[in-house]
Amino acid sequence: MKLISNPAEKTTAATDIVLAIVAFGGIVFLRHVQLDSAGLWKINIWSAAIGLIGLAATLGAVAHGVALSRKTHRCVWLALNMALSLAVSLFVVGVVYDLWGFKISFVTLPIFLTAGLGFYLMTLIYPGIFFLFIIYEVVALVFALGAYIIIATYKVMPGAWLMATGVFCSIIAAGIQTKKSVSLTFIWPFDHNGVYHLVQALGLMFLLIGLRWSMLY
C-alpha cells in the first residue's frame, strides 16, 4: 500500500480519520442510555446516520490518503457518496422525530431514503451535477437548524441548543467545502477539505452531546 505524497492530501486523510473516530465513538456514547421503545427508534435512526458519516469519513481517508488505481478510486467515491446521501436522509428523519414525533418520522423514513438514493443516482447518471446533492444537504441542514431553534425556544427538549449549534457548525463546514480557496497552515498544510472535516467534527461533537442530553431528561 502506497500513501499519497501530497502533504495537503495527507492532512485531509488524517482529518477524515478524526471525523470517523468522532462518529464511531459518538455511537458508543449515545447508546449508553436506558430508553423506551420510541427513544430506541430515535437513537437507532441517529446511530445509523452518524455511522454512515463515519463510514464516509473512513472511505474518504482511503481516497485521499492512499494511491489507488483510477477504477478503485472511483469505486471508493461511489460508496462514499452513497453513504453521505443516506446519512443526510436519516439525519432529516431524526430531526422530524424531534419536531413531530415517532409516527411521522416512521412514515417519512422510506420517503427520505428514496430521496437520498435518488440524488445519489442522479450524480451517477450526470456526474457533473454533484452540486444538486450539496443543495439537498444544505436544505436538510437549514431545516434542522430551524427545527432545533424552535424546539429550544419553546424548551420542549433539553439539549436542543447544543444540537442547533452542531447543525450551524455543519452549515459552516458545508460552505467551507465549496470554497477551494480556503486553506490554512498549522504545523501542516490543510486545504478546504481538511478544514471542512475539522469543523464538521466539532459540529458532530455538539450534536452528539445535545442528543445524549435529550435522551437523559
**In a domain? residue 1:** no
- Burial of residue 52 (number of CB atoms within 10 Å: 0-12, 13-18, 19+): buried
Q: Give me the chain's average pLDDT, please.
A: 89
Q: How many CB atoms lie within 10 A of CB 111?
A: 13
Region of residue 66 (phi > 0: left; psi between -120 and 50: alpha; otherwise: beta): beta
**In a domain? residue 89:** yes
**In a domain? residue 50:** yes
Q: Taking residues 196-215, report their average pLDDT.
A: 95
Q: Between 186 and 158, where is the model more confident?
A: 158
Cβ-proximal residues to 45 (8 Å cutoff; 6+ apart), any chain: 90, 93, 94, 97, 105, 109
Q: How many domains does the chain have?
A: 1
C-alpha cell at 14: 488524517
- Burial of residue 69 (number of CB atoms within 10 Å: 0-12, 13-18, 19+): exposed
Q: How many CB atoms lie within 10 A of CB 191?
A: 20
Cα dihedral 205, 211, 215, 217, rounded to 10, equals 90
List, for residues 99-146, the tens digit of each pLDDT value: 999 999 999 999 999 988 888 887 777 766 567 777 888 899 999 999
The pTM (predicted TM-score) of the whole model is 0.92
13 half-sphere exposure, CB direction, 13 A CA radius: 16
Cβ-proximal residues to 208 (8 Å cutoff; 6+ apart), any chain: 22, 26, 29, 30, 50, 166
Domain that holds residue 119: 7-216
List, for residues 10-55, the tens digit of each pLDDT value: 999 999 999 999 999 999 999 877 666 667 899 999 999 999 999 9
**In a domain? residue 107:** yes
Choose among 170, 163, 166: nearest CA to 148. 163
Specify the pLDDT at position 168: 97
**In a domain? residue 117:** yes
**In a domain? residue 2:** no
